[in-house]
Amino acid sequence: MVLVVPCYNEAHRLNVDAFRNFQLAGHQIQFCFVNDGSVDGTLRMLESLQTEDPSRYAVLDLSRNGGKAEAVRRGVISALEQPPDFVGFWDADLATPLSELPSFVDVLARNKETQMVFGARVRLLGRDISRRPSRHYVGRVGATMISSSLGLAVYDTQCGAKLFRVTDALRDVFGTPFLSRWLFDVEIIARFVQRWGRDAAAGAIYELPVTVWHDVKGSKVKPLDFLRALRDLWKIHRAYNARR
């Protein structure tokens, strides 16, 4: 299994020990850190980690910042060269802690028809979900629009924790650059819908409510990005609905 971790100027908040100490019972896991044109000490930190154990930590260095979508895509393409049984991506800030990953793996192991597991931030009793109210309410508005655009009852496309079964379809989905730098998670679903049809895509996706998720200081998301996301949602809707 390979977990892609996109990194942009993460030198002061990447919890290296969390990655060092994480073990997944019954599975060999490699972390593929993608340095997305960072201008701080991120690359040196990642290369030092790779030197410790090259079989466990890989580093893909992109000389120019291309955005999270392209960093994740390039990381997944690199991971598929191995190839692993599962590949996913996880936010570098570990807002979703790595302790959640075994539940994602269990879903794919139990349900052979499931092709992808998406983390979902749902505030339920007994779960530790801490999110700023402003971001939560803006997120719910965005999620409603995304669900309507896709024609799928998806709750949360933007949680930065996702795991996929490796298939030819996955290779196709990540094979070409995304239209959106901001909503590529939505575009991943749109590409699966385009390939399989809406009903089959809905049956292949499993949304897993995470038990822990915390906002982490230093987020790269700014208020203006919501407007960019709206623009990109329209681009995705227009492009993929026209191709069906």
**pLDDT greater than 60 at residue 72:** yes
Q: Kindly report, residue by residue over 96-155, the tens digit of the pLDDT.
A: 999 999 999 999 999 999 999 999 999 889 999 987 766 666 767 777 788 888 889 899
pLDDT at residue 223, as a whole number: 57
pLDDT at residue 113, as a whole number: 94
Is the Cβ–Cβ distance between 30 and 3 less than 8 Å?
yes
Tokens of residue 13, six digits = 């908040």
Q: Cα dist. 172→82, 88, 167, 175, 198 in Å?
A: 16, 15, 9, 5, 17
Query: CA 56: distance to chain centroid?
Result: 20
Q: Kindly report, residue by residue over 204-224, the tens digit of the pLDDT.
A: 999 999 999 998 876 656 656
pLDDT at residue 156, as a whole number: 92
Domains and CATH numbers, the chain: 2-243 (3.90.550.10)
pLDDT at residue 181, as a whole number: 85
| Interval 47-67 mean pLDDT | 96
Q: Kindly report, residue by residue over 10-33, the tens digit of the pLDDT.
A: 999 999 999 999 999 889 999 999
pLDDT at residue 132, as a whole number: 74
| Interval 51-61 mean pLDDT | 97
Q: Could you say which DSSP state residue 192 is in?
A: H
pLDDT at residue 218, as a whole number: 64
| Interval 80-90 mean pLDDT | 95
**Alpha helix positions (H), the chain:** 16-21, 42-52, 68-79, 101-110, 133-150, 168-173, 184-196, 198-204, 224-243
pLDDT at residue 224, as a whole number: 66
Q: Kindly report, residue by residue over 171-181, the tens digit of the pLDDT.
A: 999 999 999 98
| Interval 46-54 mean pLDDT | 96
